[in-house]
Amino acid sequence: MTLDDLRVFVAVCRAGNLSAVARELGRTQSAVSQHVKRLERETAVTLLERRPRGVAPTEAGRILYEAAADGITGLDQALRRLGDLARGEGGSVRIGTGGVTVRHFMAEAIAAFRRRHPAVSLEFRTETSSRRCFDALLAGTLDLAWITIGAPVPGIEQRPVVDLPWVLAVRADDPLAARPAIDPADLTDARLVRLPPNSLSGARLDAAFTDLGVRVGSDTSVADWDTALLLAELGLGHAVVPAVPGLRTTPDGPLRLVPVPALPPLPVGWAVRRWDALAPLARAFADTVGEQTLSHLPG
């Protein structure tokens, strides 16, 4: 039984398909199958069962998969940390982000981190949802992921960094633009530019409106906050968005941001597998982002 056998077996359990793993690893399906067969000979049990559309772990296979997945992730982290030590602050930090995360939360932190650690490689991967970030963390392909904080997820630790208040984005010539604050009831039956309901931030906003008894509609959906702001600036609708760092308007500009204090703030921050196992460089990057984020919130 080798570490490579276990890595291949874990990949097969996750994919549920031998040929898909073979393509991903650049090997033949027969070679992938041999890794599994070697494990079955060593354990004297059947680990996979064939199904019409692939394979699935048996009860014994699930036991081995759960143990191997945790062990391999921990070993990979240990090897990367050893490499960092051997190279003297070298190595890499792998970060999962959303579509606008780098612009609003990380731009200055990246520059500050680079000045302190010029030999470190920063690898950013844009994910379309928190669920995909969690999957990548569990698979060991990310060190950190910037997410909207949500319900507990098995195998994942979430650490809030900041609570973002909500603002209504409207054109300067809109009647609501002159108000010091917006009561959610004022938005009843409004047609908002909305974030996708399958996004955690969009779902939290919908839940907040429901809890307050406010009914809003939408005929426009966008993938990120920046696009919502652009459409509001163009006069194509109102948008309720989090007041992310660096979000400001000018007195003579076309857009106004009016606070909506009755909406509960949106918590955002980091997700990792285990904070106590996080490599020193990844922890340093997380701390730098946290410091910069708190110092650049809208005043």
Per-residue pLDDT of the chain (299 residues; tens, 9 = 90+): 788 899 899 999 989 999 999 988 889 999 999 999 999 999 999 999 999 889 999 999 999 998 888 888 778 777 776 766 555 456 789 999 876 788 888 988 999 999 988 888 899 998 878 888 999 999 889 999 999 999 999 999 999 999 999 999 999 998 899 999 999 998 888 888 887 766 788 888 888 989 999 888 777 878 788 888 888 888 888 899 998 877 777 778 889 999 999 999 999 999 999 998 888 889 999 999 998 887 765 54
* pLDDT on residue 85: 56
pTM for this entry: 0.67
* pLDDT on residue 105: 86
Beta bridge partners, 117, equal none
* pLDDT on residue 98: 79
Residue 1 neighbours by CB under 8 Å, 6+ apart? 38, 39, 42
Residue 147 neighbours by CB under 8 Å, 6+ apart? 96, 98, 130, 133, 158, 200, 268, 269, 270, 271
* pLDDT on residue 294: 75
Question: Cα–Cα–Cα angle for 262, 263, 267, nearest 5°?
Answer: 135
